Amino acid sequence: MNASSHDPGSVPAANTDEPATNGPVAGGAPSAEVTRRPVVPDVAVEDAAEPDVRESETDAERTLRFETDALPHLDQLYSAAMRMTRNPADAEDLVQEAFAKAYGSFHQFRPGTNLKAWLYRILTNTYINSYRKKQREPLQSDADGVEDWEIARAASHTGTGLRSAEVEALDRLGDSVVRDALAQLSDDFRLVVYLADVEGFAYKEIAEIMGTPIGTVMSRLHRGRGQLRTLLADHARDLGMKVGS
């Protein structure tokens, strides 16, 4: 058989001995220069992250971090607990239980994330799972020391609050009037209005705290604000204050 013949079923091996040239090819047309570049894997380079203090801290260090970072939120959480339970004794018990749970799971909280929202979620879940189920009648109390609820003033810096002609007049109402009106809202409405207009949480944060979809938060907030506006406007009219219709 002629040496140049080959098996028709076979495929000639590629010639890897001769490098590619830039000379003319068949037909006289010059070949384009081929530049071979190394293939770089399409993998994002991770930024150098700060070390997680939880991985190496001792129990004493974790306790100190909890006292330094979490305890400053105590007064705010007590105010929120008062809005939920509507009596000081239950509010104190609720905050104590919530902080005990927060301390017990503080190793799960990632430093640098929203600690305030994390604490409020524990407080809210504790209330829903324990105190709300008791369905006890709230004790009637002046609730001294809970004057942080200034709905009109807080609304002005949330950008979505109750700033209106009525609210301008209602700025003159006392805290006790606002508390009484707030107490007439259902638990869900009262809590979402408090979180949005006093604490300044965003919709997404409130949804995470309450464990509900953002759409539900927006609906409850709209309805709760409307009811509160009506209640406070009625109080203002009773006092002879001029409010919008």
Q: Is the pLDDT of residue 188 over 90?
A: no
Please report, to the nearest 10 degrees, the dihedral formed by the alpha carbons of residues 223, 227, 233, 234 taken in order: 160
- Reported as a pLDDT band with limits 50, 70 and 90, residue 229 is confident
Contact 101/126 with Cβ under 8 angstroms? yes
* The pLDDT of residue 36: 58
223 against 8, higher pLDDT: 223
Determine the Cα–Cα distance for residues 128 and 135; give it in Å rounded to an integer. Answer: 11
* The pLDDT of residue 175: 64
Q: Is the pLDDT of residue 216 over 80?
A: yes
Q: Give Cβ neighbours of residue 188 (< 8 Å, ≥ 6 apart).
A: 210, 220, 224
Question: What are the CA-CA distances from residue 156 to residues 175, 178, 197, 235 (Å)?
Answer: 17, 16, 9, 21
DSSP state of 4: T
pLDDT, average across residues 208-219: 90
Residue type, 100: A
The lowest-confidence range among 47-51, 178-182, 196-200, 205-209 is 47-51
* The pLDDT of residue 84: 85
* Tens of pLDDT, residues 90-102: 999 999 999 999 9
Token couple for 36: 């071979």
* The pLDDT of residue 33: 53
Q: Is the pLDDT of residue 142 over 50?
A: no
Determine the Cα–Cα distance for residues 213 and 29; give it in Å rounded to an integer. Answer: 66
3-class DSSP state for residue 24?
A: strand
Q: Is the pLDDT of residue 138 over 50?
A: no
Of 175, 184, 170, 165, the closest CA to residue 238 belongs to: 170
* Tens of pLDDT, residues 20-72: 545 544 455 555 555 555 554 444 444 445 666 677 788 899 899 999 999 99
Of 149, 131, 143, the closest CA to residue 196 belongs to: 149
3 against 234, higher pLDDT: 234
Compute the half-sphere exposure of residue 119: CA atoms within 13 Å on the CB side of its CA.
Answer: 23
- Provide the terminal-to-terminal Cα distance of the chain, rounded to the nearest Å: 109
Determine the Cα–Cα distance for residues 217 and 230; give it in Å rounded to an integer. Answer: 20
Question: What are the CA-CA distances from residue 103 to residues 53, 109, 114 (Å)?
Answer: 16, 10, 16
* Tens of pLDDT, residues 146-182: 333 333 333 333 434 444 443 444 456 666 777 778 7
- Reported as a pLDDT band with limits 50, 70 and 90, residue 187 is confident
Q: Bridge partners of 30?
A: 24
169 against 212, higher pLDDT: 212
Task: Domains for the chain: give ranges and CATH numbers.
Answer: 58-134 (1.10.1740.10), 151-238 (1.10.10.10)
Of 92, 63, 61, the closest CA to residue 79 belongs to: 92
Tell me the percentage of the chain whose pLDDT exceeds 90: 22
